[in-house]
Chain A
Amino acid sequence: MSKKVFETLEKWGIKNYKIIDKQAVKEITLGASILATGGGGDPEIGLLWAYKVLDEGKIVVMVDPMDIPDDILVASPACLGAPVVLTEKPPSYDVLNNAIRKLEQYWGKKLGATIPIECGGVNSTVAYAAAGEFEVPVIDVDGMNRAFPELQMTSWVTNGVNASPTVSCDDRGNVTVIDTGDDNKMAENIARRVAMAYGGISWIATYPMTGKQVKEASILNSQSIAWELGKAVYRAREKHLDPVKEMLDSLKATRNVTGMKVFKGKIVDISREFGGESTKGFSLGRIKMDGLDEYKGSVAEIDFQNEWLVLRIDGKIRCLPPDLIAIVDSETGEPIRTDIMKYGYRGSIILIPAHERMRTPKGIQLFGPGYFGYDMDYVPVEELNKEVAK
């Protein structure tokens, strides 16, 4: 078994790195699902792939973004297409390998490391599986520190890095190179149609960038944030502690992120806007929760478009995109997704401020309230919840 990744770390002069074992993958995947803001879909396939890679004795290591050389090529391996096809037709190693190798050809450089594009769903974990398969490190960053439905909705775009060239592949060996310059919405449109032509699913290598760009444009240490969240939940389960409190305490203590619990209740109504999936590619709707315990008598309403978007409590706006809304089971800490929520589900609502790199004027334009059809100005979640935050 070659340990090529350690030779790479030595060459880069990196002494501090984290070995990602099965337990770590499990914790990171759970934490990422909490950050996914109700979206991202089922992470199972990515998780199983990572397990298989580790079972084969391959090594996955995570490095800090500030330690990597400025000139290496970094890219994000990901899946783009219809979730139902993914569950019926999981990938092969070859399809992702093909995407990466073709991207290297187009770029003229070997891949130095992988970066997850988002937190949540299959894409959160695929970067780890790919890192193991290709014997490169995974970098402790991502492009949003949450989940969003479209390719262009990243901190990379808001900070001047483009999705192009994106290489899109299928299992039969078909390759499509999408190069739309700085029109990232067009890259999304083309990539979506290529996936349809392939049979519903494509595997992409996207957002090629240099090590320097990773440092300047990513959400730094977002994987560690997910990891700490996941660890907190497993710790709470093992020691029968309150998972919500463990999560929030751990975020503050380890990553200096101030999350807050603003509600506990049960889902009493779900209204889905039918036809949304075919017309806009989104699943749209609103849920209503009645308060429990200290929130009895209060009502929370959350609008969703694949992800939770806007939270109102007793009619007052309490969270707007891109800030994060998570609903987690009050006992198990398991997050609830928009695609599997049900009437009667009981949970606590947690809000987490989006990273500064998501809140730039360009970011608010790309994925603030206006992009999702809300005629209102973005107000940071800390402002909206002053009395809770203090």
Chain B
Amino acid sequence: MAKDVRIGFDVGGTFTDGVMLRGKEVLAKAKALTTDDVTTGIINALDVLLKTKKAEVSEISLVSLGTTHTTNAIIERKNLNKVGIFRLGAPATTAIPPLTGWPEDLKAAIGGIDNIFIIRGGKEYDGRDIVPLDEEAIRSACRKIKGKVDSIAITGVFSPMIPDQEERAAEIIREELGDIPITLSNHIASISLLERENSTILNASVITVMRKAVEALKKAAKERGIEAPLFIVQNDGTVMSADYAVNYPIFTVASGPAASVRGAVYLSGIDNGVVVDIGGTSTDVAYIVNGFPRESSITVTIGGVKTNIRCPDLMSIALGGGTIVKTKGNEVIAHGPESVGYNLVKLGKSFGGPIITTHDIAVAKGILDKKLDIFDTDFAPHIDKVKALDKDLVEAAYNIIKNTLEVAVDQMKTVAGNVKAIFVGGGALVVPRENLEGISEVVMPPHFEVCGAIGTTIAEIGAYAEGVADLEIEDRDDAINKVIEKAKDEAEKAGAIRDTVEVLDVEEIPFAYMPGKREKIRIRVKGKIFE
């Protein structure tokens, strides 16, 4: 029997979606309530899929998921590691120590400020030491935190360009503390010390959360007779092997929206355009550039902490099926931001409830006229209640919703002109799709309602590497090739077959305001899991 069935999950705030595919054929879809621990919800969705008997467990070749384990742990300050924090940068940088500006409860949850050490060291932009690395200070710090921390975060000044000191510091810490998870900032993010340090510390804080999730899911799969590797979606929409993900959990914080963009590309065949993912309480708008989500150029705040990890450039607006239309008589006062969420089926007019929602306006306008098979309930069991709504009120609400959508799509543009839009998500039918300003065409591919889950099964490994070259000394092509090899190494570690790895983009960033011909090279690659 061929091993050619893929299973994917997309964990959302309310529901966890699951799909089972053979090639491009969708064999089964599932929806389970997302649970507090996230893992149980995924296993429930898995069981629904398996119960359909559309494929044998022995046919399953891959299990992949976009998950919120990491984000939830940080936001709820739950089960976080105590982190030993090393910054290599004194005598510079000391005016603003690590964790400055962090919310107090999050600071406490990762062990507080007692485990912070600003070590003499760090680099200048041109490769000079600020001062030589103080190795003895690292050893003495290790003796202080031995047994008190679960993981280590190391951040050196200018390490994204010259990583040697971070690597040396990690070596010393391993000698002193043995086998402890260590996150180096040059693996996590780019220039901007405080934001990179924040990203690095957050990564170190959720390593155990990710490891436990991966262990639980592997165990559940094994118990069900599934013998297939497990993959996790990362922020650019590619995947990494679960074992690799354990060391880089922070790369999964935007895995849901990223998977949804990749799914939209996969289902529609559109490589450049906008993806509008409509849920029960909110809508995410993201742009596709050459098949991948466009990256955000600004800082991303996670759990109240500013970070500079690479994430999809995403705009979330309060527009979903359950978003409340506020009225006074027959006049619309406002649309949202409140939503009835999954209580739509109790509270919405279409379901005999008292509240007018986006869903009800769509039913009244006739743009929502069928039940999607992932939902248990019919879309409007009390259609008479909707029919009784005032025509002008419906029209006014419809126009407000249409305008909200148009403004969001426009604000995310980087140039003027119309774009193709792919509407996906469980709420895709509740929003206007005709005559939208700034949109040339709305595409709704088959299975749009489980687009995110499908996006997780595309099975492409992504990786990147960075390096610095001085073009006055080095040949440009040699310098670039060196970084490409480094990126391929990373892709292989993340689960790709080396021969299949291809370069996605080459970025060269000259150092502004600097003498000489130094530049930073950044390479992004993708590779396949299967031959």
Contact = CB atoms under 8 A, between A and B. Distances in A.
Contacts of A111: none
Nearest to A342: B414
Nearest to A126: B95
Contact of B193 (A88, A96, A269, A345): A88
Given A89-B89, A278-B512, A171 B130 contact: yes
B37 interface: no
B413 A340 contact: no
B126 A344 contact: no
Which one of A51, A200, A281 has the highest number of Cβ atoms from chain B below 10 Å of its Cβ? Answer: A200
Interface string B281-293: 0000000000000
Given A48-B194, A90-B194, A200-B125, A344 B96 contact: no
B414 A89 contact: no
A55 B97 CA distance: 12
A179 to B, nearest CB: 25
B298 interface: yes
A85 interface: yes
Given A91-B92, A92-B90, A92-B91, A196 B412 contact: no
B387 to A, nearest CB: 35
Contact of B512 (A44, A82, A345): A82
B2 interface: no
A325 to B, nearest CB: 22
Contact of B298 (A88, A93, A266, A340): A340
B100 A52 contact: yes
Interface string B400-423: 000000000011111110000000
A171 B412 contact: no
A199 B515 CA distance: 11
A94 B191 contact: no
B101 interface: yes
B157 A88 contact: yes
B117 interface: no
B412 A344 contact: yes
A200 B513 contact: yes
B92 A90 contact: yes
A345 B89 CA distance: 37
Interface in A272-308: 277-278, 281
Nearest to B92: A171
A84 interface: yes
Nearest to A173: B91
Size class of the A contact interface (CB-based, 8 Å):
35 or more
A277 B95 contact: no
B122 A344 contact: no
Interface in A244-268: 266, 268
Interface residues of B, number: 38
Interface string B170-212: 0000000000000000000001111000000000000000000
Given A52-B96, A200-B513, A344 B410 contact: yes
Contact of B513 (A52, A84, A93, A171): A84
Contacts of B130: 89, 171-172
Contacts of B128: 199
A199 B90 contact: no
A93 B95 contact: yes
B97 A89 contact: no
B95 A129 contact: yes
B124 interface: yes
Contact of A89 (B93, B100, B126, B415): B93
B298 to A, nearest CB: 7
Interface in B72-99: 89-97
Contacts of A17: none
A366 B430 CA distance: 59
Contacts of B95: 49, 52, 90-93, 96, 129
Interface string A337-367: 0001011111000000000000000000000
B109 to A, nearest CB: 18
A275 B89 CA distance: 32
B117 to A, nearest CB: 15
A186 interface: no
A45 interface: yes
Contacts of A51: 100-101
Interface string A89-116: 1111111100000000000000000000
Contacts of A340: 298
Contacts of B90: 92
A87 interface: yes
B125 A92 contact: no
B134 to A, nearest CB: 14
Interface in A162-204: 171-172, 196, 199-200
A84 B518 CA distance: 15
Interface in B311-357: none
A90 B96 contact: yes
B514 interface: yes
Which one of A44, A45, A90, A196 has the highest number of Cβ atoms from chain B below 10 Å of its Cβ? Answer: A90
B416 A268 contact: yes
Nearest to B513: A82
Contacts of B191: 84, 87-88
A336 to B, nearest CB: 12
8 contacts: A84-B191, A84-B511, A84-B512, A90-B96, A93-B95, A171-B92, A200-B125, A266-B410
Closest 5 CB pairs of A and B: A171-B92, A82-B513, A92-B94, A199-B124, A87-B192
